[in-house]
Structure 1
Amino acid sequence: MKKFITTLRDIFQIKELRDRIFYTLGFLAVFRLGSFILLPGLDPEIVSAAAGNPSNDLMGFLDTLLGGAFSRVSIFALGIMPYISASIVVQLLGMAVPYFQRLQKEGESGRKKINQITRVLTIAITLAQSSAYLATSVPEGAVIVSQQFFYVSSVILLTAGTVFCMWLGERITDKGIGNGISMLIMIGIISALPAAIMQEIDSNSNALWLVIELIMMFFVIMGVVLLTTAIRKVPVQYAKQIVGAGGKKKSFKTGQRSYIPLKVNAANVMPIIFAQSLMFLPSLIAGLFAETSDTAVWIANNFSDYTSVAYNTTFATLIILFTYFYTAITINPDQMADDLKRNNAFIPGVKPGEATSHYISLILDKITLPSAIFLAVIAVLPAFAQYANVTASLAPFFGGTSLIIMVGVILDTIQQIDSYLLMNSYDGMMQSGNVKGRQNVAIA
């Protein structure tokens, strides 16, 4: 406890870190406030009565991810989800379209162009999703103005709300702590946790079963933490060049030893977010043909229930595929092999160049498969929790998207805070003169 208090004191003694934390809290407060602002033209009482009764389990699950804004029909009802969908599309284009591949290689200028394309695509996706959302999620009889005026104005407001959420996420990333987009999703999830716990306590009078639930949740959290922090160390040696008296290179000898830390879950939370963003599409598309096709009715029913076998099988498969996909686009073994070769470094027992690239790819394949499977298992645990009579409001916190996002974002934020504390510690040592051997050298 004393160490915790000391850490808090050190955090608030660093001005830059303190400012970033306050910036983050302020932006998150604005985001939460916007999730309670109702779309104009709706009867608040009707919307409030329907907010706690989603039309299906999938809608309730999405409502958990969005902190209740989805069922409240707020201006932030779609949240940051259209931006995530746009990011998926752009990254897929980066794998297949030469233009996007060139942009990825252009450094900072290419990244800015990709970000701009993603923003424009976000607006287009939001316009489509907002129309579908208004047609399916607005409670019957809640519209108290002209239907045409309501739908036109609401599409504009929902699109503006998503763009504003996107802007908030970028500001948190630039001026705050942590990844802004993930932070917005996390705060929406956490906001539902206290009410979910209270509902579980009220609905379950068996104290022993509540203790068992907490123990199970603890072990699931520990498993997610281990998955998130696990790394595979690839040993690396640096060759030290020996130069003769005449300035000619004579030989190399073994120099400093190090390692490449390959994360077991290199894709982090992104496969879950990507897969979740796509899971509403089957039921949405099938709903358009429900009146003419029995198959469409089956798809709509099963993919609207996040505890169904079809939903969880598809969800787990998408997570495994996206884990491989995101690992492939974030880690480039060829580039890593080239960087090692340029720095006179090599992996013991492996030839530089193509052999090193193949060796790193083989390791990635070996560690990505168990990571993807474990990630998929964690993602479908809420369905099993609900089968075990855990309330629908608390079940998402037994694993799945909610827990993985929370753990991943919290660990990432803690790492950034630790980096600031470590940097401040080094600065303090330099200013106090505690670094031995440091001399002031005048440069003419």
Structure 2
Amino acid sequence: MLENLKKALKIKEIRKRLWYTFFMLIVVRLGCQIPIPFVNKSSISEIMSNFANDNFSFFSAITGGSLEKMSIFALNITPYITASIIIQLLTIAIPKLDELQKDGEEGRKKLAEITRYLTVGLALIESTAMIIGFANMKMFDTTAVAYGDMHAIRKWGVIVTGILAMTAGSAVLMWIGEQITEKGVGNGISIVLTINIISGMPSDIANLFTNFVFKEGMSIGGRILAGIIIIGVVVGIVVLVVILQDAIRKIAVQMSQKVQGRRQIGGQQSNIPLKVNTAGVIPIIFASSLLQFPVVIASFVGKGEAEWTHYLSQSYWCDPSQIKYSIGFIVYLVLIVFFAYFYTSITFNPREVAKNLNDRGGFIPGIRSGKPTVDYLTKILNYIILIGAVGLIIVSIIPILASGVFGAKVGFGGTSIIIIVGVIIETIQSVRSMVSERNYSTVKGIF
């Protein structure tokens, strides 16, 4: 890794891309500190304290804490992520979108354009709901405000200003992500998401050590043991995520030989790589969002403390003194497995893979072409999806168990670590490929 970074820094073009990415991320973090106009600063901490608990911890993490500050980037890139997922799901239901997805570069550009429009639409809807909800909680100064001789800006003006600022902030972040992809390194949207999560991790880790290592009355041995356990758990989760992200099941493929003139072509051995964690972090995001959505709505309408919300709130799960609320935890695990199978089924089609394999003259040794190949791929896929789902469950429940049993509340969890590790691996591979491409171009130019 360090060797690749040294090689990359020696190449001017890659060095410029790295610096461009770095400065754009600084812009992102600065934007997360700029508040929306007319925010009543005295009421922010009181109202936004709800976002410090586990119900909103993941949303807080992926927005880099900008939501608690009610900054212009409060929505961050969540509308873009939601829009991208919706477009992927709609490609199954709408043949026209499916055709665009298969139509090469031009089709992908059109899908990206549709995703942008949908992102702005979702940002407008979300910002409208949030601004009106927070305005009803007295977060904004909606009384008449005057600047010198200017006319008073009344409640509706304050609300419209907040909606436009929040929507524009989300659109700007989408643009920044696309610019990083084009002029920087790696996937810009993923990198913006990752830097937001990383920004909150130091304070969360500091809180863990404050509450469990430097707790008053603890012996030196107890402090050391607590520190070792915390570090061991974090390192263990990271190692498990790395293994889960890199795990691949390779299905051997044999290409048929063809006679062309006097030569025989084909006959090569290849493989179909199937990722164990095919769906990535999507199942956890879907499951969390589905359970937390009613809680968010209840909070906005002043019913956030109703008992039924406790069943859907991670902060009440796995607590030995309130074990009945862990029913929601069981539902959460079932949803992760369900969405792992559901999402993989719409992104990997065994029937289509078998058809493409047959068209290219390939086959799986020992398996006949056609339906037997489809059945074989489906069987293998179901097997590895289950393994991936179990891996996701293990990673996601560790922070929940730590919170419920030991009261170790942190803003980041297994989901955040999966995102961070996945994006870091993807970015390193991107830099490595740019270095290899540069070296290849140099050698080609010599000869």
TM-score relative to the length of structure 1: 0.84
2:27 is equivalent to residue 30 of structure 1 = yes
Q: 1:72 aligns with which of 69, 73, 77?
A: 69
Q: What is the correspondence of 1:331-342 to structure 2 with a 5 Å cutoff?
A: 331-342=348-359
> Structure 2 vs 1, CA of residues 88 and 430 (structure 1 numbering), >3 Å: closer, same or farther?
closer
Moved more, 93-102 or 296-305: 296-305
Distance apart, 1:277 and its partner CA: 4.1
2: CA distance, partners of 1:261 / 1:98: 27
Judge conservation of contact 2:100–2:107 (CA < 8 Å) in 1.
yes
Partner of 2:67: helix, strand, or coil? coil
Q: Secondary structure at the match of 1:393?
A: coil
2:115 maps to which residue? 118
SS at match of 1:348: coil
**What is the deviation of 1:269?**
2.6
Q: Is the 8 A contact 1:290 1:300 kept in 2?
A: no
Higher relative contact order (Cα pairs below 8 Å, separated by 6+ residues):
2
Query: Where in structure 2 are the equivalents of 1:151-300 lying within 5 Å?
Result: 151-204=159-212, 205=214, 206-242=223-259, 255-286=267-298, 297-300=306-309
Counterpart selection for 1:389 from 406, 412, 416? 406
* Greater Cα offset, 264-273 or 69-78: 264-273
- AA aligned opposite 1:41: F
Identity in percent: 37
CA distance in 1, matches of 2:380, 2:26: 43
Q: Does 1:354 align with 2:371?
A: yes
Amino acid at match of 1:302: Y
Q: Distance in 2 between matches of 1:99 and 1:242?
A: 39
SS of residue paired to 1:258: strand
| Secondary structure at 1:259 match in 2 | strand
Q: Which residue of the other structure, out of 295, 298, 312, is the alignment partner of 1:303?
A: 312
| Counterparts of 1:153 and 1:304, CA distance in 2 | 32
| Deviation larger for 220-229 or 87-96 | 87-96
Kindly tell me: are residues 137 and 177 of structure 1, through their superposed partners in 2, closer, same or farther at Cα, counting changes over 3 Å?
A: farther
TM-score between both structures, scaled by the size of structure 2: 0.83
Compared CA separation, residues 218 and 133, structure 1 to 2 (3 A)? same
Task: Give the distance between the partners of 2:307 and 2:50, measured in 1 at CA.
Answer: 22
Kindly indicate whether the alpha-carbon contact (under 8 Å) linking 2:134 and 2:300 is maintained by their aligned counterparts in 1: no
Task: Note closer, same or farther for the CA distance 1:53–1:322 as it changes in structure 2 (3 Å cut).
Answer: closer
RMSD across aligned C-alpha pairs, in angstroms?
3.0
Greater shift, 319-328 or 182-191, is seen at 319-328
Label 1:357 to 1:152 Cα distance change in 2 as closer, same or farther (>3 A): same
2:272, 2:371 → 1: CA distance?
Answer: 17
C-alpha displacement of 1:417: 1.7
User: What SS does the corresponding residue of 1:71 show, helix, strand or coil?
Assistant: helix
How many Å apart are 1:263 and its aligned residue? 1.1
Give the number of equivalent residue pairs: 419
Structure 2 residue identity aligned to 1:76: F
> 2: distance between equivalents of 1:61 and 1:138?
23
Note closer, same or farther for the CA distance 1:325–1:22 as it changes in structure 2 (3 Å cut).
Answer: farther
The Cα of 1:127 is off from its aligned counterpart by: 2.3
State which drifts further: 179-188 or 83-92.
Answer: 83-92
Structure 1 residues 85, 131: CA separation in 2 closer, same or farther (over 3 Å shift)?
same
Correspondence for 2:418 among 397, 404, 410: 404
The C-alpha deviation readout for 1:368-412, integer Å capped at 9, x for no partner, is 111112213322322112134353236x34x2x211111111111
